[in-house]
Amino acid sequence: MDVSYHGHSVVKIETKGKTILIDPFITGNESSDLKAEDQKVDVILLTHGHGDHVGDTVELAKKNDALVIATFELANYLGWQGVKTQPMHIGGAREFDFGKVKLTQAFHGSSVIDEESKQIIYTGMPAGILFTAEGKTIYHAGDTALFGDMKIIGERNQIDLAFLPIGDTLTMGPEDAAAAAEWVQAKKVVPIHYNTFPDIDQSPDDFIARLPEGIGEVMNAGDVITL
């Protein structure tokens, strides 16, 4: 299984002949190395409804006839736009032909903001994602604060690779993310959701320095980890 990082919170997983994108915020994301029009994707996994996570989902899903997996409210909202969806919710898991998806808690918000009409559309609870395939488990925490049940996530899952936000202001910062890394007990931890815009400027190297030696890895856009 190849797992690559593409700026902000964008993660690509290639397994069992399928390509999976998590939170495909590509267009307008200066930290990403991808071009939305070039992407061939089978599945899109979403952590929540904010624009810097949903990103290019609708366009990519329609172009590729991709399945979008998201929490119930967000899946319904996207379904109304002609996207093929599989609704799930916190604590629920489902086996697919490309792997197992389970949604975890995340402490954040989830909405679509219409700037023109000044409306905020609620899109359900935010989530983290546990993805398992080929005997390996990836944890994408989404946007979240530190929360105690991360200990339970670590105790009940053997996590090979964890993607944790470190940006602060809108999510947990480096200090709390280091505690999260300890609690989820992942073999490898990668920082995400930082330096995309001024409010989340952070040093990923400073975060890595807070972790036990050999656990943390800074991934630049386009870098790949093979599990």
CB 147 within 8 A of CB 115: no
| Residue 156 main-chain phi, psi, to 5 deg | -100, -5
CB 141 within 8 A of CB 168: no
- 15-44 pLDDT, tens per residue? 999 999 999 999 999 999 999 999 999 999
Report the alpha-carbon distance of residue 68 to residue 42 in Å, rounded. Answer: 9
- 92-132 pLDDT, tens per residue? 999 999 999 999 999 999 999 988 999 999 999 999 999 99
Q: List, in sequence order, every beta strand (DSSP E) within 23-171.
A: 43-45, 67-71, 85-88, 93-96, 99-104, 111-114, 119-122, 128-133, 136-140, 161-165
Q: Tell whether pTM > 0.95.
A: yes
- 36-92 pLDDT, tens per residue? 999 999 999 999 999 999 999 999 999 999 999 999 999 999 999 999 999 999 999
Tell me the average pLDDT across 142-146.
Answer: 98
For the chain, domains (ranges, CATH) are: 2-216 (3.60.15.10)
Report the alpha-carbon distance of residue 31 to residue 47 in Å, rounded. Answer: 19
